[in-house]
């Protein structure tokens, strides 16, 4: 039934899906609770203290949710509405012939980016099985895209990543998910220590690939999406902790291009069990 619902939603115009999503996002934000408190606090940490900004950010989260069925199930239609003004960043990296590690934060439409990047060659992405088992058939359908290979977030998946990078191919992952204990380091994110994964840094250092942060900006009026890139400056930091901090800094640069579309409600600053003590905030 859920797949049927997603297929019906996918047929609606993108402008209508975004409109419905933004209305729902504002409605959820209007209800006092943890969601609104966290969104405000995280946005304020980055300097966005205007209540209007917070409401618009919540609206964009709703738009992100409602556009997902269309991106998953009407791939070619969505790609016709996707463009980039700086694909030259990718072309230069491809010309080097050493593989690309794409890092896609929770910004804009992060589901469209890998699908857009397939035009440059095959890409392997990492996923986590959904907590709700009923979502698995929908996600399986979404992953069934030519040129896109999905591997689980396990040791086997990491090995698949390394093999793809050593073949000179591309891989993609989310860099701002809070890792489990022992899988990250404390690194600044908008001036506050955030437990940050080291997997991306270790992959880059092990394989010597280009590292490019990318995100799909949601355009107004249901026009589609614009793909942005920020390539990490080289030579890369030699230690995973320093490189994780550099990735966070590059992520901040990308987010500030269209900050209302970042998922500020995500619990980015949570402390995993058994993680080392968090350092004092830079502002303290």
Give the pLDDT confidence of 24-47 residue by residue, as tens digits.
999 999 999 999 999 999 999 999
Give 284 or 270, the one with higher predicted confidence.
Answer: 270
- Is 274 within the bounds of a domain? no
Lowest mean pLDDT among 2-11, 12-21, 125-134, 232-241: 125-134
Is there a domain that residue 180 lies in?
yes
CA atoms of 132 and 155, how far apart (whole Å): 22
How far is residue 72's CA from residue 143's CA, in Å, rounded to a whole number? 8
pLDDT of 152: 82
d(CA 33, CA 55) in angstroms, rounded, equals 14
- Other C-beta atoms closer than 10 Å to the C-beta of 8 total 11
Q: What total of structural domains would you count in the chain?
A: 1
> Is position 271 within any domain?
no
Question: Which pLDDT band holds residue 250 (cuts at 50, 70, 90)?
Answer: very high
Asked whether residue 277 is assigned to any structural domain, the reply reads no
Find out whether 265 and 34 touch, Cβ atoms under 8 Å: no
Whether residue 75 lies inside any domain: the answer is yes
> What's 198's DSSP letter?
S
Residue 105 has pLDDT above 80, yes or no: yes
Domain that holds residue 246: 2-261
Name the nearest CA neighbour of 81 among 261, 256, 220, 255: 220
Instruction: Note the pTM of the prediction, 2 decimals.
Output: 0.92
Give CA–CA dist 179/275, Å, rounded.
10
- Does pLDDT of 139 surpass 90? no
Instruction: Tell me what pLDDT residue 161 has.
Output: 93
| Beta-strand relationship, 123-127 and 148-152 | parallel
* 133 CB neighbour count, 10 Å cutoff: 8
pLDDT (0 to 100) of residue 283:
47
Alpha helix ranges (H) inside the chain? 2-10, 14-30, 34-45, 51-73, 75-79, 88-95, 110-117, 136-143, 155-166, 199-207, 240-255
Q: Does residue 196 fall inside a structural domain?
A: yes
Establish if 283 belongs to a structural domain.
no
Longest dimension (CA), the chain: 51
Q: In this structure, is residue 284 part of a structural domain?
A: no
């Amino acid at each position: 039934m859920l797949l049927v619902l997603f297929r019906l939603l996918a047929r609606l115009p993108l402008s209508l899906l975004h409109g419905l999503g933004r209305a729902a996002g504002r409605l959820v934000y209007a209800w006092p609770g943890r969601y609104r408190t966290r969104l405000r606090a995280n946005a304020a940490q980055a300097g966005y203290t205007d209540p209007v900004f917070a409401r618009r950010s919540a609206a964009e989260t709703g738009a992100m949710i409602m556009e997902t069925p269309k991106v998953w199930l009407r791939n070619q239609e969505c790609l016709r509405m996707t463009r980039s003004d700086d694909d030259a960043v990718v072309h230069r990296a491809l010309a080097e012939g050493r593989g690309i590690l794409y890092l896609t934060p929770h910004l804009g439409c992060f589901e469209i980016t890998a699908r857009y990047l397939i035009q440059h060659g095959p890409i392997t992405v990492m996923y986590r099985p959904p907590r709700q088992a009923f979502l698995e058939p929908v996600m399986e359908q979404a992953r069934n895209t030519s040129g896109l290979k999905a591997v689980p977030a396990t040791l086997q998946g990491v090995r698949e990543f390394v093999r793809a990078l050593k073949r000179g191919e591309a891989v993609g992952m989310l860099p701002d998910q809070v890792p489990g204990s022992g899988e990250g380091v404390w690194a600044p994110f908008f001036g506050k220590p955030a437990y940050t994964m080291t997997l991306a840094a270790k992959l880059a250092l092990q394989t010597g690939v280009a590292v490019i942060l990318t995100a799909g900006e949601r355009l107004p009026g249901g026009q589609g999406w614009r793909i942005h890139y920020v390539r990490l400056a080289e030579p890369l930091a030699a230690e995973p902790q320093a490189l994780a901090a550099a990735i966070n800094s590059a992520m901040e640069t990308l987010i500030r291009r269209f900050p209302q579309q970042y998922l500020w409600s995500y619990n980015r600053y949570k402390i995993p069990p058994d993680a080392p003590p968090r350092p004092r905030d830079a502002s303290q």
